[in-house]
Structure 1
Amino acid sequence: MPPTHGDGFPDVIFTCPNALAAELTGPTVMLRCHEQALAAVDAIARSPQEGALLILGAPGAGRSTVLAQSLAAHTDIASLVPVNPAENGWPLSGVSAILAGIGDPRVAEFTGRFALRSDDEAAISEAATELLAVLRGLGLPRTLLLVDDIDAMDAASRRVIGYMAGHLAGSGIRLVASAADIPSDEPLVGVQSVQLLPVDDTDARAVAPAGIDPGTLRILSSVAGGNLRTLVSLFDSLSPEQLHGREGLRLPPRPGRAAWHALERLTRRMGASHVAVLDRLATAPLHPRASVGSWGDDAEDALQELIDLGAVREAGAFVTLADPLVRSALADGLPSRARRELHLELRAGSGPLLDAWHASWADPAADLRAPLLEAAAESARLGHPHATIEFADRAVRSGGDGLAGALATVADELLAAGEPELAERYLQLAASDPSADVDDRLRVAISRLRADYLAGRPPHTDALLADADPELVARWAATLAAVSAARGDFHAARGPLMGLESGLAPGTTSETRSMARTARALLGSVDGIPHASDDARDPLLIALHARAETLAGDYARARQLISRLAHSLARPSRMWAGWLTALAIDCAAREGRIGQAFELASDWETQHPGVEGPAGMVPLGAWARLAAGDLEGAEAVAAPCTENAAARVGPLPTARALLFRAEIARLRGDLATASELLQVADTVAAAIDDPRLTRHLPELVEVLVETGRMSAAREVAHRFAEAARAHQSRWSTLASARTVVVTAHDEDLRERYLWAVSLHRPGDSVFELGRLHRAYGRRLAAAGAVPESEEAAADARIAFAGAGARPWMAAPTPSASAATLTPEPDAPHPPARLALLSDDERAVAELVVRGLHNKEIAAALFLSVRTVELRLTRIYRKVGARSRAHLVSLLS
């Protein structure tokens, strides 16, 4: 490995020990896989007590890099001690190197007469004691010794240093050593250690060449097995075409030192039957579990023992080697003839999925590209994308001409498996096929529409439809209409859908028909919302159906479809997990179950910190921060997703994200920002006729009133009422009534409010009821009716508590501000004891004051009676109440 790299990653140090010093002149990149080790070295360097630390990691994991960065961070006290493996046969050569690293001439004098009397344990201990006595007598300042590859040191030195490591007190020395392995019978085993972590996706992106194809990076990260040097070596070995995803890869790749080390560690105590099974497992990315018994008399037992050791893992009906580095070394270690004979042997019992794979190795001259790509699509369908990659890339390396349609199918299956980067890579390969006919190009265009929607990109609409298969034309039109409608581009959706209105051909597939029905449902152009057919297996189709049901207000059906989507997936994936969570949050939020939305977002943040979910939805991290009451954090996460978003993700998601940000601004009391965001949302959503889709208009009415623009508010309220009458829904009815209250004249305010309250029925959104109470309270506060506004604010808090909307409960109300700024002489002030209660406890206390019994409180707040009783117990204790009557007296 050269000391510097020119493919976009010159800032990272990857070195052998002898090259470390030469590379310390450049800046370094802090990798997450090294953070824990660097923190441990920093702690021991700064500690007032002497001590020792081992940094453990496989060859290529970055041990030398950690020591180099530690040396750069502590140049005033640190010294690097490289170990020369060529001196391994010279006893105490390692001790001499460490003493030389101290740099004190008195130590050099002692080194000349330091020797072992024998190599037994007593002599080793005596030597270590003598050496420690000398070091303590020198009065050394704080000294950090960084020993690279201590496991390459001579055995006698390792044992001496191992004895010394636990008794460094008074010597001034902090000893940090790196190693791949330490024999279990050596004293160094007892030294405090830290294990280097494998390279994760973030680190892989940090060291990758600029412009690398994300799918290619995903593949290389996987086959590198988390080993840093292996990953960088793979980057160096690829051509520009391969790096940019325009050419197939050799898989498994050629092994490096880390792979041979992993293989040696695995097989050092294994028998011939285990090695024979490993050789056969290495010939393919996966094998049918049932076929292993035919490999030999002991094969089944050997396989089970390998599974128990963790060397092999079971994946459904298949088994596969757990470590890609081990497989790389095993595959490369087989002579060509032996490899070919193994493939011939294994083909007989491999089953249809592996037949083309083994045949392609047994007879490299045969054109097996089509069956290989069929196997690739099937393996993705079964939830084995690693096998998909190997099958597909082997086909592509044999020549990509004429493969566009099959590659598009592979991309579709990878997308359904939740692997968008890999799907994008094969779509790119398919698009570069110069011999693709019009049908194959249309297949690629359909796959591109699906990938673009899930990635939050504008759809490509320039497909060539002339002379194409009518079924494919219909599928393209239905897909374009559905994804355009889901984005809120209804004008763009109506064009392709008009061509389907006359009816689909009798032979049209169920997937195309269902996609067309989904597009119509999203457009709202048919009465009722069609349900997904029972045989639908396409995750995107189910997700779009769930989206249609949510927008139509059939939340129970939407939840059923979201659950069905979860059960339809062959394997868990971060992409589909994000979509499932985002769809469920949107459904819960539109239904008014804000607490449920918060729980979903908090669970997501715990499991996937820093991952924001689908590009076409409000970032899940923003929801999680709002759930935690971090309004500034929620705004910081949500703001970037609305920048130039209408063209990227469409007007509907953009308007919803702007509404989310406006709600945050209102909770913070920033009405000017809220007004600006809502007016931008109104502009973005100008072409969306149904107000229930974006839901920004009633909030815009409220903000206009609160900022003193009643005339403009009444104009918007009138526009909203007209749209609500044209597109009737339960939400539109209730929200329109709220705007009537907000814009009512003072003398009509109470009458309009009572009318709006009377519209709410059991099962309606409690959150919407809380909005009505809050809006009424603000109008009362503005009119100077402080006691009545406080009562309305309390009603709002109770309703928000029932909806789980904690930030809305805690938000300051204008009525409270008015009471503070212009208190009436006889106006009752909120009791100070209320400040002692949490938002949940305050909601219960306010209902107690109103005379409700525990069962009634439980029903109002959607709690169990037991929960109400527990909260009352805490309330009594906090405010010092002796009884329920005493509590009412204290809080009234």
Structure 2
Amino acid sequence: MHSISEIVSAAAQRPAGLLLEGEAGIGKTTLWLAALQHARDSGFTVMSARAWEAESKLAYGTVADLLTDIDTDALASLPQVQRVAVNRVLMRDDAGGPETDQHVVAAAMLSVIETMAVDNPVVIAVDDLQWLDACSRDVLAFVARRLRGRVALVVTERADPEQPSTTSWLHLARPDALTRVRVSPMTLGGLHELISSRIGRSLPRPTIMRIADVSGGNPFYALEMARAIDTEPDLPRTLAELVQRRITDLDDDANDALLAAASVADPTVELLAAATGNDPDRMTELLEEVESRGIIEITGNRVHFTHQLLARGVYFGASAPRRRRMHRALAEAVVQPELKARHLALASSRSDPEILRSLDDAAEAARARGAPSAAAELLDLAIKLGGDSPSRRIRSGSHHFRAGDHDKAHEVLAPALEVVRPGMLRAIALGLLAGIYIYRRSFADAADVLTEALANSEDNPAVLAQTLLTLSFAQANQGQYEQALVSAQNAVNHAEILGIDMLTSQALADLEVLKALSGNGFDEDSLNRALAMEDPDADVPIPFRAHSTAAQVLAWAGRLDEARGHMAVLRQRCVERGADGDMLFVCVWSTLIHVWRGDYAAAAGAADDAIQHAEQIGGDHSLVIALTVRGLAAAYTGQVDAARADATAAIEAAERFSAPLLAEWPIMTLGFVSVSLGDYEQALKDLEPLTSDFDRLPCTEIIKAGFVPDAVEALVALGRTAEAEPMIATLERNGRRLDRSWMLAIAARCRALVAAAAGDVAAAEKSALQALAEHDRLAMPFERARTQLVLGQLQRRRRQKQSATETFTEALQTFERLGSPLWANRARAEIERTNVAPGRSAELTPGEQRVAELASSGMTNRDIAAALFISAKTVEANMTQIYRKLGIRSRAELGRRMGPRT
């Protein structure tokens, strides 16, 4: 009880959990019930359910129990898609509505819990987690990870010391929030007290010792043995023997009633009567006799065993033919397709067309209820009972895939692909296989499979269009943008002919993002059509959603507020549907948009959310993109070690599964950090994988060419301006062609650096001012401030000290407001260099200024002479004058005085 009190007290402040584990009959349920009562006495709202072995295959059985008694007002406030999902779980008439699955159900349950916890703390209590159905397990896992308010999770698990735990999936947000308590066997004194209180008299110590020895301290066994002590000379030594002794003198009708009750999840008097051929009154009479023996309890019309071990003993104590006969009778008595099919399946040991049809119908009903794992399990059962066919395997694989079990999907699908003939069914199977490959990030394998699928889908335009759409995605993720563009355009053509709005929206969205990635920009009218035709309730992969495309291409075009609005739409949908994978996408792109907007606090928050979702999803790919954006956010806020660690880890992970495209942004982060520190040689080493392939870059949108300003600055600083020229020219050309303010602003700033390096300060200043004019169209304050650093340097070289100081000061204020300390330090250094102490003449000639800048970058006298086309002696003479004017004696002091160069 001490642990129970601690958990209840902790949950009044923050999420806490208690897992009671131990062998069957050890007393877990008793403690669980005590915990629930303690919580009620402490003012908690209790949501409870007891999972039963008989319902471990019934989709959402435990979740339905948890939600049954919830106030209808709490459910009415849910978003529509969540209300539909809950109605389907509770088997209410949902009058149609959007598709749902366990993710939507989980999001609905989490919403309900959070709403209730505002008024009173909440306890979510589940007894016997090992019997949870797959859908309920997924829902509970989702909810547990996301609990944030005043909520306690109190659960039990039957644990076998020789078997691994079945609850490895159960985690709260804080690892230390879940307390595991092993329920131990009772002591001799404890057993004596239990038995005395339950049977109303005290047994002799030798008898108690015998019971303790045989039961091993298990209170359930001990109590059952004590009850039999008056009539049995020997104590029962097994569960089956114990149960048989309890029911041996019951008549056949009573035994049949008990077997029927042990064979269903939620037995009622009426159901048991129908299954055994009795009327309800006769069944009540039979059950009351059994209840008097402490085997069952009757509450209203519902029947429950006093302990699951008794139910298990009754069921497995019956012969196999008798169990099959009972399941056949129950199949006639139940109404729900899923239950009817399961009972029919358990009633047969061979293939039966009626049973296979029932399983198919039940699988479709489970799918419609949003229970893909249950649908897959029903089809797998049909396959095992002799109904093995390619069509059934393809449907089962599809359900497994949707339920998130991609390995099982592949296992089920593979035999079908060996025998399915060419045609539409094979195209569908290949499309599913491609989806599995894409999930595994095997894009080349996916493209090969989809190419074969195209040849098999020519007679079905809808399948053909969807196949082309998926193929374009696989090609794009290999960097084959031109091929992807062709596939996407063909998908649009077929979708337009079909006139299916949802498919056309997806195809148009895919086409527009690929146009941009291919260097062709995007068509705003086409994008708006995709948005208008998008079905917000359709379960569409997020890369193909029109709002997803709009957020990306508008962000690249510098329209960041619009992009953020589209991302908010996607986020809301993900929250309502509990879509973890989609939420990772949203967090990643939100981070990029926040960074570009200069909102680094929001970027850091979104990046942290991305890491959390990546950890929940698992897999290298998820972690790579989450580490990438977290490293980027850290880089802009001056967290050098953290940024480099995340970027390096992301690059290494991308290399492990041969995904070079995923390494591009972490490489850019490393280069940006080095430039931020003024380490230009290291910056070029960092960026070499990107700069060496610049001529093969498909486009210069910021998503692909974000490294260019850092590469150009480093190249100019090291006197390698000729290498920078192609990058600048490409940005200028594409910027004018596409009217991209980012490209034009960055190109003009880079052009200013090159002109300044050549000594044409007037031309350089003109380019810098042109860059600032482009920045006026671009809500990227960091980039504007960075351009101001260049302009201020040029103003200082033209002896416009007042203007230079004002320009540097404005840049400093921006960097400080954004929270970018490395760049704020650079701005301060420029201000100090401009405002020298009174009485000291630090005015360098343009030639001296250029020599000083190159020397401070680390170049030798010989390198400076070569870069400026002067002799080494002239460089030495300039250095002497520079040292005298600045009052310094070494290059180290010169580096500090000159500060990092831009």
TM-score, normalised via structure 1 length: 0.51
Cα distance per residue 1:590-636 (max 9 Å; x no partner): 55544322111224446765877772785324544665665434433
**What is residue 728 of structure 1 aligned with on the other side?**
739
Q: Are 1:279 and 2:233 counterparts?
A: no
Larger mean Cα displacement after TM superposition, 326-335 or 711-720: 326-335
- TM-aligned CA distance change 1:701 to 1:762, over 3 Å: closer
> Could you tell me how far 1:417 is from its partner in structure 2?
4.8
Asked if residue 642 in structure 1 is aligned to residue 651 in structure 2, the reply is yes
Residue aligned with 2:452, SS: coil
User: CA offsets, 1:685-743, max 9 Å, x none?
Assistant: 72412433313323322332344423322331112211222333343343334333443
Aligned with 1:490 (options 481, 486, 496) = 481
Mapping 1:653-668, distance limit 5 Å: 653-667=662-676
Q: Which amino acid aligns with 2:574?
A: A
Q: Which residue of 2 aligns with 1:167?
A: none
**What is the rounded CA distance, in whole Å, between the counterparts of 1:703 and 1:718 in structure 2?**
17
Q: Does 1:558 align with 2:545?
A: no
Cα deviation, 1:168-191, whole Å, max 9, x if unaligned, reads xxxxxxxxxxx99799x9xxxxxx
- Following the alignment from structure 2 to structure 1, what is the Cα–Cα distance between the partners of residues 714 and 308? 58
Provide the residue aligned with 2:858 in structure 1.
Answer: none
User: What per-residue deviation string (whole Å, max 9, x for no partner) do you get for residues 492-525 of structure 1?
Assistant: 2134345456555744654543332233112227
User: 1:672 and 1:792, CA in 2 relative to 1: closer, same or farther beyond 3 A?
Assistant: farther
| Cα shift readout 1:27-50 (whole Å, capped 9, x = no counterpart) | xxxxxxxxxxxxxxxxxxxxxxxx
Q: Which residue of structure 2 lines up, in the alignment, with residue 689 of structure 1?
A: 699
Distance 2:626 2:784 in 1: 25
Decide which moves more: 509-518 or 612-621: 612-621
Alignment map for 1:482-521 (pairs within 5 Å):
482-485=473-476, 488-497=479-488, 499-500=490-491, 503-504=494-495, 506-507=497-498, 509-521=500-512
CA contact (8 A) 1:482 1:518 kept: no
Letter in 1 for 2:570: I
Alignment partner of 2:523 out of 520, 527, 537: 527
> C-alpha distance in 2, partners of 1:711/1:349?
81
**Residue in structure 2 matched with residue 712 of structure 1 by the alignment:** 723
Which residue of the partner structure matches residue 347 of structure 2?
Answer: 362
Can you list the C-alpha shifts for 1:316-369, whole angstroms capped at 9, x where unaligned?
xxxx99x99999999766653335524642565443444443433334522455
Q: Distance in 2 between matches of 1:827 and 1:276?
A: 105
1:741-780 paired onto structure 2 within 5 Å: 741-745=752-756, 747-748=761-762, 749-761=764-776, 764-774=779-789, 776=791
Q: Which secondary structure state, in structure 2, belongs to the residue aligned with residue 534 of structure 1? A: coil
**Structure 1 residue 387: deviation in Å?**
1.9
Residue identity opposite 1:585 in structure 2: T
Letter matched to residue 659 of structure 1: M
Using the TM superposition, give the Cα deviation of residue 488 of structure 1 relative to its aligned residue in structure 2, in angstroms.
4.1
Q: Is the counterpart of residue 475 in structure 1 residue 466 in structure 2?
A: yes
The one-letter amino acid paired with 1:279 is A
The answer to whether the Cα contact below 8 Å between 2:428 and 2:453 also exists between their aligned partners in 1 is no
SS of the residue corresponding to residue 539 of structure 1 reads coil
Could you tell me whether the CA contact under 8 Å between 2:397 and 2:410 is conserved in 1? yes
Q: Distance in 1 between matches of 2:239 and 2:666?
A: 47
TM-aligned CA deviation for residue 476 of structure 1: 1.0
Give the deviation of 1:552 after TM superposition: 1.1
1:786-843: CA deviation from partner (whole Å, max 9, x where unpaired): 998776565445434555xx4x334574565678999944499xxxxxxxxxxxxxxx
Shift of 1:659: 1.9
1:561-710 → structure 2 map (5 Å cutoff): 561-563=569-571, 565-566=573-574, 569=577, 572=578, 574-605=580-611, 615=621, 618-624=624-630, 627=633, 630-643=639-652, 645=654, 652-667=661-676, 670-683=679-692, 686-694=696-704, 695-710=706-721
How far apart, in 1, do the equivalents of 2:767 and 2:775 lie?
13
Distance (Å, rounded) in 2 between the aligned partners of 1:60 and 1:796: 66
Change (3 A) 1:698 1:507: same
Deviations 1:196-250 (A, max 9, x none): xxxxxxxxxxxxxxxxxxxxxxxxxxxxxxxxxxxxxxxxxxxxxxxxxxxxxxx
**Deviation for aligned residue 1:391:** 1.8
| Superposed CA offset, 1:266-325 (max 9, x none) | xxxxx9999889734559xxx99x9999998999xx9xxxxxxxxxxxxxxxxx99x999
Give the Cα–Cα distance (whole angstroms) in 2 for the partners of residues 330 and 581 of structure 1: 52
Listed as ranges, the gaps of 5+ residues in structure 1 are: 1-15, 17-55, 66-84, 92-118, 122-150, 159-178, 186-256, 264-270, 303-319, 829-892
Asked whether the 8 Å contact 2:359–2:378 carries over to 1, the reply is yes
Displacement of 1:562: 1.6
Q: Secondary structure of the equivalent of 2:523?
A: coil
Query: How far does residue 440 in structure 1 lie from its aligned partner after superposition?
Result: 2.2
- Rounded to whole Å, the distance in 1 between the matches of 2:309 and 2:488 is 51
SS of residue in 2 equivalent to 1:615: helix
Root-mean-square deviation over aligned CA pairs: 5.7
- Change beyond 3 A, Cα 1:401–1:354: same
The partner residue of 1:338 within 323, 333, 350 is: 323
Give how far 1:407 is off: 4.0
Percent of pairs with identical residues: 17
**1:798-809 correspondence to structure 2 within 5 Å:** 798-800=813-815, 803=818, 806=819, 808-809=820-821
Q: 2: CA distance between counterparts of 1:440 and 1:448?
A: 12
Q: Which moved more, 1:370-379 or 1:755-764?
A: 370-379
Instruction: Assess if the C-alpha contact under 8 Å between 1:582 and 1:613 holds in 2.
Output: no
Q: How does 1:879-890 map to 2 (within 5 A)?
A: none
CA, structure 1 residues 481+583, in 2 after alignment: closer, same or farther (shift >3 Å)?
same
Letter in 1 for 2:773: S
CA change 1:361–1:647 in 2 (3 A) is: same
Match of 2:296 in 1: none
* Partner Cα distance (1:542, 1:753) in 2: 38
Counterparts of 2:825 and 2:680 in 1: how far apart (Å)? Answer: 13
CA contact (8 A) 1:418 1:574 kept: no
After superposition, the Cα gap between the structure-2 partners of 1:390 and 1:700, relative to the gap in structure 1 and judged at 3 Å, is same
Conserved in 1, the CA contact under 8 Å of 2:654 and 2:663?
yes
Alpha-carbon distance in 2 for matches of 1:293, 1:593:
67
The Cα of 1:675 is off from its aligned counterpart by 2.0
What is the CA–CA distance in structure 1 between the aligned matches of 2:839 and 2:619, rounded to whole Å?
A: 49
Query: Which whole-Å deviations, capped at 9, do the CAs of 1:734-793 have from their partners, x for residues lacking one?
Result: 333433344342623444333322333487223332443455567789999999877656
- C-alpha deviation, 1:438, in angstroms: 3.0
Distance 2:312 2:626 in 1: 38
CA distance in 1, matches of 2:309, 2:765: 74
Partner AA of 1:563 in structure 2: R
The answer to whether the 8 Å contact 1:377/1:409 transfers is no
Q: Which runs of 5+ in 2 are unaligned?
A: 1-22, 24-155, 166-184, 191-202, 223-236, 244-253, 288-303, 555-561, 841-902
**CA 1:521/1:280 → structure 2, altered by over 3 Å: closer, same or farther?**
farther
Q: Summarize the Cα distance change of 1:64–1:710 in structure 2 as closer, same or farther, 3 Å threshold.
A: closer
1:540 maps to 541
What residue is the counterpart of 1:452 in the other structure?
437
Q: Report deviation, 1:566.
A: 0.7
Question: What letter corresponds to residue 707 of structure 2 in structure 1?
Answer: H
| Correspondence for 1:60 | 160
